[in-house]
Structure 1
Amino acid sequence: MKLEFFKNIQFTKLIKAEGRLREFNFRNHLSPVNKDICSINVTDDRGNRIIFEMQKQESGWKITQSKLPMWIMENENNFQEVIEEELK
């Protein structure tokens, strides 16, 4: 029986979105299957958790879902910078 261990990176960053600081939780699985996917979650003003993913592409990290609040979509570049900084 062969055991394989994969590194799991989790971190939290405060990012200003929609005029206030919000806590974004990032999770990146460094496994052969999910190496280019980062899961992100944040709460909205009502306390509802919003979960979405970013996938690494040739041009950088891009949000894969389309029906997200505009304040999330507007911060795609900020998320990309945070992910790249943490994975160095």
Structure 2
Amino acid sequence: MQVRFVKMIQFSRQFKAGDRQREFNFRKLSSPETGAFSVNVSDERGNRILFTMEKIEGEWKITSAQLPQWILSSEKNLHGVIEDELAKNDEYQSRL
């Protein structure tokens, strides 16, 4: 029997989205065949907004529907945050 370990990637980043500084929480979904992240952030009332981002044609894209405009307009920032974290993770793995 072959055992395969998959490292869990989970992190948070703060940046301005819309008119406020917000904290976005990211968790890489463990399905090896798809590159996807579950992302959540609080709105003005403290309600948690959950959405998914998938890597489509080399870009991290929001795949959930009916999200506030301030999230949709932050897609490029979210892409950059995910790419930066994955690059850091690859650097760490190469040192092991």
Q: What TM-score results when the alignment is normalised by the length of structure 1?
A: 0.89
**Does structure 2 retain, via aligned residues, the 8 Å contact 1:7–1:31?**
no
Which runs of no fewer than 5 residues in structure 2 stay unpaired?
A: 88-96
CA positional deviation for 1:71: 0.4
2:41 matches 1:60: no
Q: Where do residues 1-88 of structure 1 align in structure 2 (5 Å cutoff)?
A: 1-34=1-34, 36-88=35-87
- Residue identity in the other structure for 2:43: D
Q: Distance in 2 between matches of 1:69 and 1:42?
A: 11
SS of residue matched to 1:7: coil
- Residue identity in the other structure for 2:50: I
**Does structure 2 retain, via aligned residues, the 8 Å contact 1:9–1:28?**
yes
| Greater strand fraction, Structure 1 or Structure 2 | 1
**Does structure 2 retain, via aligned residues, the 8 Å contact 1:42–1:50?**
yes
CA positional deviation for 1:5: 1.9
Q: Distance in 2 between matches of 1:42 and 1:18?
A: 12
Bigger Rg, structure 1 or 2: 2
Q: What TM-score results when the alignment is normalised by the length of structure 2?
A: 0.82
**Does structure 2 retain, via aligned residues, the 8 Å contact 1:7–1:29?**
no
Q: Distance in 2 between matches of 1:19 and 1:75?
A: 11
Q: Distance in 1 between matches of 2:26 and 2:55?
A: 14
Which runs of no fewer than 5 residues in structure 1 stay unpaired?
A: none
Runs (4+) of structure 1 exceeding 4 A deviation are none
CA positional deviation for 1:19: 1.3
| Greater helix fraction, Structure 1 or Structure 2 | 2
Residue identity (%)? 52
SS of residue matched to 2:3: coil
Residue-pair matches, total = 87
